[in-house]
Copies of this chain bind each other. A is one copy, B any other.
Amino acid sequence: MGDATSLLTDRYELTMLEASLRDGTGSRRCVFELFGRRLPGGRRFGVVAGTGRLLQAIEDFRFGDDELRFLHDEKVVDAATLAFLADYRFTGTVTGYREGELYFPGSPVLTVEAGFAEGVILETVALSILNHDSAVATAAARMSIAAGDRPLAEMGSRRAQERSAVAAARAAHIVGFGATSNLEAGRTWGVPTMGTAAHAWTLLHDSEEDAFRAQVATLGTGTTLLVDTYDIRRGVETAIAVAGTGLGGVRLDSGDLPTVAAYVRGLLDDLGAHETKITVTSDLDEYAIAALAASPVDAYGVGTSVVTGSGTPTAGMVYKLVARQDDAGSWVSVAKASTDKASTGGRKAAFRTLERGTATSELIVVSDGFEEVDDAASHPDARALQVPLVTEGETDAAHVGAAGVQAARTHHAQVREELPIRALALSKGDPALPTVFVDRA
């Protein structure tokens, strides 16, 4: 935190900025909308994540001497633009879905209102953060559903870029993972951390028994011993011989897990270690977790699949200009028209309609006129989905830092309860809720 985020930006944003300062359009008031045209991977719902990180990134979006020198030396922009950037501080307004909220095709996940010059240069960093974190959260939520009441831990740091790994651990925690292996996620975001030992620990020692004995001496009998380095049967027997029947747990990281888990449960029970738990960690994804529902497994550790979005590493959301003022100060709805990437212009207000507590639609009211849209009144069973995140440059502190993560986690757990049962299916399908556009323009 605190590192400048201003060069995490596509060059064309600064090019457009420069041109807009020259021709005067940079001061035109604009509305940018961040949304997904579809839910990737045939999933039933999406989960918004990264909002708290984005709000921090907007605060840190400053151009210091280093950034300005680079832009000058590389001739990216002219002197007038450098002067604008030196003073840059976002003074606009951002509203959006709460972090942890569900989203559907067309949901206005984030709305930025600012002068063109101020708003256009946030495009890349906003998309980078929300696309990554939402992709992870969307995949992780399915794993959380598949795991039911069994604890889930995120342990995929090694299969993600080193800073993505921290963001992924954070996103997974928001949607129900109880812990992470990633220490930086613990420090920065307050995610509980966990972990005991790898195969290297056993291989380091002259015998598996030596390794287990040393681990128990340090961590106590409540620790979890990794029993599959050599032979699983002997590993389990050695573990109980060393730690006693009060051993906290064993971890299995290879093999056909339903078979191996049942076998190990039987071994443990035969040895009298009825309370010793079994954690499995080998190449799990939401499907493998679901397939283990009937197996005697007590906890899951998920790696690659959660940090890479289980086949969908980006949410694919876009950041589009949807409305702007003209020289007379009147608002004009705008949208790209050609071919396959058309979108809906105009500012939008979003609601989730509910019947007896179950969500029935994503209702999006398009309103060019920018009168206050207060459709909550006209939809008594609808919940307004957008909240203020930044108001005239001031960030709402409730959404940032470790407290923001906990708030998002709580919110996610609540709104997931509203989903209809069909939304919980792991198979590919249509979005669980229809998106209904209402044009009030």
Give the B-binding residues of A (Cβ under 8 A). Answer: 3, 5, 7-16, 18-20, 22-23, 25, 28, 30, 32, 57, 66-67, 70-71, 74, 76, 116, 120, 123-125, 127-129, 131-133, 155, 157-167, 181-184, 186-187, 193-201, 203-206, 210, 214-215, 217-219, 228-232, 253-255, 282, 304, 307-309, 313-314, 316, 319-321, 324, 326-327, 334-341
**Chain B min CB distance to A143 (Å):** 17
Q: A166-B8, A183-B11 are in contact. Are A230 and B159 (CB under 8 A)?
A: no
Give the residue of B158, B163, B204, B228 whose beta carbon is less than 8 angstroms from that of A131: B158
Q: A159-B314, A314-B159, A334-B203 are in contact. Are A183 and B308 (CB under 8 A)?
A: no
Contact B204 A28 (CB under 8 A): yes
Give the residue of B22, B232, B304 whose beta carbon is less than 8 angstroms from that of A218: B22
Contact B167 A161 (CB under 8 A): yes
CB-CB under 8 A from A8, the residues of chain B are: 157, 162-163, 165-166, 182-184
A159, B132: Cα distance in complex, Å: 7
**Smallest Cβ-Cβ distance to A188: which chain B residue:** B7
Contact A229 B132 (CB under 8 A): no
A212, B314: Cα distance in complex, Å: 32
Contact B128 A158 (CB under 8 A): yes
Q: A16-B198, A228-B339, A336-B229 are in contact. Are A76 and B183 (CB under 8 A)?
A: yes
Contact B254 A155 (CB under 8 A): no
CB-CB under 8 A from A131, the residues of chain B are: 158-160
A161, B66: Cα distance in complex, Å: 22
CB-CB under 8 A from A314, the residues of chain B are: 159-160, 304, 307-308
Contact B195 A15 (CB under 8 A): yes
**Smallest Cβ-Cβ distance to A156: which chain B residue:** B314
Q: A204-B20, A316-B159, A320-B200 are in contact. Are A338 and B74 (CB under 8 A)?
A: no
A218, B204: Cα distance in complex, Å: 64
CB-CB under 8 A from A229, the residues of chain B are: 336-338
Contact B19 A159 (CB under 8 A): no
**Chain B min CB distance to A212 (Å):** 10
CB-CB under 8 A from A339, the residues of chain B are: 228, 254-255
Given contacts A15-B197, A163-B164, 6 further A-B contacts (CB under 8 A): A23-B210, A124-B182, A133-B161, A160-B313, A228-B336, A255-B340
Give the residue of B10, B19, B230 whose beta carbon is less than 8 angstroms from that of A183: B10
List the 10 closest pairs (A to B, CB-CB), nearest first.
A12-B195, A127-B158, A11-B195, A132-B161, A163-B163, A128-B162, A10-B181, A161-B164, A200-B321, A23-B214
CB-CB under 8 A from A338, the residues of chain B are: 228-232, 254-255
Contact B74 A186 (CB under 8 A): yes
CB-CB under 8 A from A74, the residues of chain B are: 186, 193
CB-CB under 8 A from A13, the residues of chain B are: 195, 198
Contact B183 A14 (CB under 8 A): yes
Q: Interface centre among A198, A206, A254, by most B CB within 10 Å?
A: A198
**Smallest Cβ-Cβ distance to A228: which chain B residue:** B338
**Chain B min CB distance to A71 (Å):** 8
Contact B25 A214 (CB under 8 A): yes
A127, B314: Cα distance in complex, Å: 21
Contact A336 B25 (CB under 8 A): no
Contact B162 A57 (CB under 8 A): yes
Contact B334 A10 (CB under 8 A): no
